[in-house]
Chains A and B, each alone.
Chain A
């Protein structure tokens, strides 16, 4: 554990809260010191939840540590049951409470509460939020979906994975439900989001499971496969290609021939139409949770025509698929939960677009690089009022819009190049649809986007007109053009770099 200003994932009890808050009729009794109640805010403020998360904190203080904190926990547990009358309870400890070793599970069990009590062992100092969500959901399913249930007469599946505070989980679950309905497949239970404890007992009635977010649902799906022989889908349907693969996988699982109606799928034509030509080869850096990063790398490259120049994820447990895809792209995956490492990697790669989390949005702002948010953690603006999935057909449409929104449009890009010294279309003008004050690469002053260090002693000096000409080169290759020209001048023993030197160097490196 280390101190940091910002983190991609919270501690594991926040993951447990995401499951509890997503579900109905479940209550979470959390042995936690005063101050840990801040976590409510993540849900009520960022996700705009209109209810407090179903969590009771024991909120012990420093002075309680000398007395009976275990009694404090039992009181909180009993009060929570009396007040909320939940259908099931999960109990656990937050990071600090873990240290006092009160064993909330054992305590709650000894109380003889008339509802199922599931104890969570979440190692706060080794694991993080996604593990907490996955483990909580897994333990709930293990405890509540024990009895075999006859399969539904009609073909159904469960949709597993969506939680509170997830990136577009609400809309993904709805979109995939629609997609499956169009294929003649019903949805038995969506869980955790929207499910009651009793619904978890009905999980085994489905013919198979659809895992939307392996980070939160893969462990539960594996247990259901082993215990109730329910196959589960591996393909995460983000993007056109992955959605088609997903349908093929469902067809293989169900033994049915499935053909989706693609009438509402606009993305292939949007990316094929001529204004999209300007997207070709745009250099993008992708970072997020493993599932979204890997899916977005495919969308970026195969569906948008971008060039992926960086790929990484912050959740180490799922690093393997990220490494595999990065290798296929000829890249080395960046697996880190330190945003400073990510910032350094983005600075070095000098992409034209970042696809990332809330933190990469900040990094992009600092570096003057446009960013689209494609993965949790996200801020309040990424919980939209409208339905905006990133999965299925509508999700692919949404992704196209999301990915081009931060960019300058095709014809406008030409105008900016052609009239780059004009008052309206100058190099620093940026996308016109984003309005004034939008940070743009050239407009950035502090800190400089791509540090262009002053000349080293003895290095050739730039004439004013050459320096001006250099500024006309797009910012993301400007640093390279400067270095190349200086190397070219140094090789030839030139003391100054004139306009001619700049063009000679360009011609030299073009050969």
Chain B
């Protein structure tokens, strides 16, 4: 973008003053939820930075963030596009969407994950073809959400409030393909036959930007893939006989499909 001097704020040591915040310094927010932080950190900057963009999850989110940055520094989006070239991670995300095995109902529920549920909902809804319900803890009315919420205005049910039992009722009623939730709820929901994704993995795994879009998609695919893998086919049944005689000698082979898999009985 032709910017030669870049500092990342705040400094790694929190008590050190931010370097280089002079009256003519421009500040760009690394992500759209930093409004309050910017107010306290960037005192002395020429203007309070405002970033209207989605969180950089997936292809659309990353492009949206880059466009937001372009607006902040008044550069054309085309320049940035030329710089980035074709977003490969985005392509992988789209590829995954086409081959997602068990995204049958396209319904996904999301329990509170501080501040990023709208972004996850946007990614799942607009980039992977899932519908998404959302429940977030009560947040200050001024909390900045970037533009993720606006992008899903036409889509998923958004339920606000912090009543876990009510949200569980909604999840049980919807029977979503996948529920994004914390570890406290994951196993109990799995025991009810509902696939889950640990929200904490979204914190531990690099999921931002084009490069990680495919990895992000794969995070949501993994619990579904596991269910598809386990106990399905019976194709690996022990062949009826050892090496001594052909399998046809077996008098009482269990019929293939007698039990479709180890899940039978386990979920009850």
Q: Looking at the complex, which one of A222, A235, A271 makes contact with B244 (CB distance below 8 Å)?
A: A222
The reply to whether the CB of A387 lies closer than 8 angstroms to some CB of chain B is: no
Closest to B254 in A: A248
Decide: A508 and B204 in contact? CB cutoff 8 A. no
Decide: A290 and B236 in contact? CB cutoff 8 A. no
Q: What residues of B have a CB within 8 angstroms of the CB of A297 in the complex?
A: 236
- Closest-CB distance, B243 to chain A (whole angstroms): 4
Chain A interface, DSSP helix/strand/loop, else mixed = helix
Q: What residues of A have a CB within 8 angstroms of the CB of B226 in the complex?
A: 276-277, 279-280, 305
Q: Looking at the complex, which one of B183, B200, B258 makes contact with A245 (CB distance below 8 Å)?
A: B258
The reply to whether the CB of B166 lies closer than 8 angstroms to some CB of chain A is: no
Decide: B237 and A298 in contact? CB cutoff 8 A. yes
- How many of A's residues come within 8 Å of B, CB to CB? 63
- Which of B65-73, B85-93, B104-112, B150-158 lies at the interface with chain A? B85-93
The reply to whether the CB of A240 lies closer than 8 angstroms to some CB of chain B is: yes
The reply to whether the CB of A294 lies closer than 8 angstroms to some CB of chain B is: yes
Q: A272 with B183: in contact, given A302-B231, A321-B239, A507-B88 (CB under 8 Å)?
A: no
Q: A274 with B238: in contact, given A245-B258, A280-B226, A305-B226 (CB under 8 Å)?
A: no
The reply to whether the CB of A444 lies closer than 8 angstroms to some CB of chain B is: no
Q: A274 with B243: in contact, given A268-B266, A418-B204, A507-B89 (CB under 8 Å)?
A: no
The reply to whether the CB of A325 lies closer than 8 angstroms to some CB of chain B is: yes
Closest to A260 in B: B265
Closest to B226 in A: A280
In the bound complex, how far is the Cα of B190 from the Cα of A319, in angstroms? 39
In the bound complex, how far is the Cα of B235 from the Cα of A325, in angstroms? 8
In the bound complex, how far is the Cα of B234 from the Cα of A511, in angstroms? 33
Chain B interface, DSSP helix/strand/loop, else mixed = loop
Decide: A235 and B254 in contact? CB cutoff 8 A. yes
Q: Looking at the complex, which one of B230, B235, B243, B263 makes contact with A328 (CB distance below 8 Å)?
A: B235
Q: Looking at the complex, which one of B230, B234, B243, B259 makes contact with A321 (CB distance below 8 Å)?
A: B243
In the bound complex, how far is the Cα of B85 from the Cα of A503, in angstroms? 13
Q: What residues of B have a CB within 8 angstroms of the CB of A235 in the complex?
A: 237-238, 254
Q: A302-334: contact bitstring with B at CB < 8 Å (1 yes, 0 no)?
A: 111100000000000111110011001100000
Q: A328 with B236: in contact, given A231-B251, A269-B266 (CB under 8 Å)?
A: yes
Closest to B225 in A: A280
The reply to whether the CB of B191 lies closer than 8 angstroms to some CB of chain A is: yes
Decide: B222 and A277 in contact? CB cutoff 8 A. yes
In the bound complex, how far is the Cα of B247 from the Cα of A214, in angstroms? 13
Decide: B243 and A503 in contact? CB cutoff 8 A. no
Decide: B211 and A231 in contact? CB cutoff 8 A. no
- Closest-CB distance, B224 to chain A (whole angstroms): 10
In the bound complex, how far is the Cα of B168 from the Cα of A192, in angstroms? 56
Decide: A214 and B222 in contact? CB cutoff 8 A. no
The reply to whether the CB of A218 lies closer than 8 angstroms to some CB of chain B is: yes
Q: A302 with B183: in contact, given A218-B244, A510-B88 (CB under 8 Å)?
A: no
Q: Looking at the complex, which one of B191, B196, B242, B254 makes contact with A214 (CB distance below 8 Å)?
A: B242
Q: A215 with B242: in contact, given A245-B237, A325-B236, A415-B204 (CB under 8 Å)?
A: yes
In the bound complex, how far is the Cα of B255 from the Cα of A235, in angstroms? 12
Decide: A274 and B88 in contact? CB cutoff 8 A. no
In the bound complex, how far is the Cα of B88 from the Cα of A231, in angstroms? 60
Decide: B238 and A298 in contact? CB cutoff 8 A. yes
Closest 6 CB pairs of A and B: A507-B88, A268-B266, A252-B252, A248-B254, A321-B239, A298-B236
Taking Cβ atoms with an 8 Å cutoff, the residues of B that contact A are 88-89, 91-92, 183, 186-187, 190-191, 196, 198, 200-201, 204-205, 211, 214, 222-223, 225-226, 229-245, 250-255, 258-259, 261-263, 265-266
Interchain Cβ contacts under 8 Å between A and B, 13 examples: A241-B237, A245-B258, A252-B253, A267-B262, A276-B226, A290-B242, A302-B232, A318-B242, A320-B241, A321-B238, A321-B242, A411-B200, A511-B91
